[in-house]
Amino acid sequence: MNIDEIFDNTSFTIDREAHIVLNYEICTGCDNRGCVNSCPARCYTWSQEEQKMTFVHDGCLECGTCYVVCHKNAFTRWRYPRGGFGVAYRMT
């Protein structure tokens, strides 16, 4: 199953309170930004022109990859969404 098929079988109940919060100053000084290429939901976007990281939690698949690959512990919050919110997979 590829990522597009996963999204076809996925729904989100978006919590306005982000479950992942970044310290953007740390991201600005990051030397590899592994999160950008490893997040399957493309929640992380780096603008070279603006030297600015943007993170959108809405489509987060709650895979945990960004938590593992971030070598600078840039998160002021990293947790799963509150009960009743977040991703719902329908694989059957």
What residues make contact with ligand SF4 under the rule CB under 6 A?
20, 22, 26-27, 30, 33-35, 39-41, 43, 53, 60-66, 69-70, 72, 74
Cβ closest to ligand SF4, residue 61 vs residue 90:
61
The helix/strand/coil state of 53 is strand
Cβ proximity of 91 and 24 under 8 Å: no
The alpha carbon of 14 is separated from its chain's Cα centroid by a whole number of angstroms, namely 13
Please, what is the minimum distance in Å from the beta carbon of residue 92 to ligand SF4? 22
Please, what is the minimum distance in Å from the beta carbon of residue 90 to ligand SF4? 17
Please, what is the minimum distance in Å from the beta carbon of residue 45 to ligand SF4? 10
Cβ closest to ligand SF4, residue 14 vs residue 33:
33
DSSP 3: H
Cβ closest to ligand SF4, residue 14 vs residue 26:
26
Question: Any residues with CB less than 8 A from the CB of 51 and at least 6 apart, and which?
Answer: 28
DSSP 47: E
